[in-house]
Amino acid sequence: MTPRVRVQEAPFDLGAESAALTAGREDVGAVASFVGLCRADDGLAALALEHYPGMTERAIAGIVAEACARWPLSGCTVVHRVGRIRPGEPIVLVLTASAHRAAALESCAFLIDWLKTGAPFWKREEFADGRGERWVEAKAEDDAAAARWARAGAGDVAA
């Protein structure tokens, strides 16, 4: 199984990505998807997403490898956008394919929880009404969500 991992400015198409993940396959019984969208909280005009080229791909590959070690996946796609993203637009896509639903659903949740805490992306909020901009702060509940996947003997996927 070769995971598809991309970091890009362009939007992505959930349907096209899902179709590509299962094209020509007859062993996939379940595809789970997560799409993260940009919300217009507090009059947000746009998010500006920055990342660490090189480390980003390396970190995501490590998280995907951990998912593959834990669940029997037949396919996996991670697309994370960077640059300027407006409210309503997609930010991140996680797709997991497996023979059965539990592996697809659980691995999809694992991947997005770990992406939020273990991949080097940073969001800056831009406001239209003269309030300028501010960097989004990391949330303790995101750390807790990632920590619930910890297990004895598992290697750190994001230190």
Partner 1 sequence: MQVLYFAWVRQKVGVSGEEVSPPPEVADVAGLVRWLSARSPGHAAAFANAGSIRAAVNQDFAAPDHRLSPGDEVAFFPPVTGG
Query: Using CB under 8 A as the criterion, which residues of the chain lie in contact with partner 1 when the complex forms?
Result: 36, 49-52, 54-55, 58-59, 80, 91-92, 112, 115-124, 135-138, 142, 158-159
The two structure tokens encoding residue 45? 């005009």
User: Which residue, 28 or 82, has its beta carbon nearer to partner 1?
Assistant: 82
Q: How far is the CB of 135 from partner 1 (least distance, A)?
A: 5
User: Which residue, 53 or 130, has its beta carbon nearer to partner 1?
Assistant: 53
Single-letter code of the amino acid located at 112: I
Distance (Å, whole) CA 45 – CA 40: 7
Q: How far is the CB of 85 from partner 1 (least distance, A)?
A: 12
User: Which residue, 31 or 38, has its beta carbon nearer to partner 1?
Assistant: 38
Q: How far is the CB of 113 from partner 1 (least distance, A)?
A: 8
User: Which residue, 23 or 159, has its beta carbon nearer to partner 1?
Assistant: 159
User: Which residue, 11 or 135, has its beta carbon nearer to partner 1?
Assistant: 135
Contact 146, 107 (CB under 8 A): no
Contact 154, 66 (CB under 8 A): yes
DSSP 72: -
Single-letter code of the amino acid located at 136: V
Q: What is the DSSP string of 74-117?
A: EEEEEEEE-EEE-TTSEEEEEEEEESSHHHHHHHHHHHHHHHHH
Q: How far is the CB of 54 from partner 1 (least distance, A)?
A: 6
β-pair type (73-81, 44-51): unpaired
Q: How far is the CB of 49 from partner 1 (least distance, A)?
A: 7
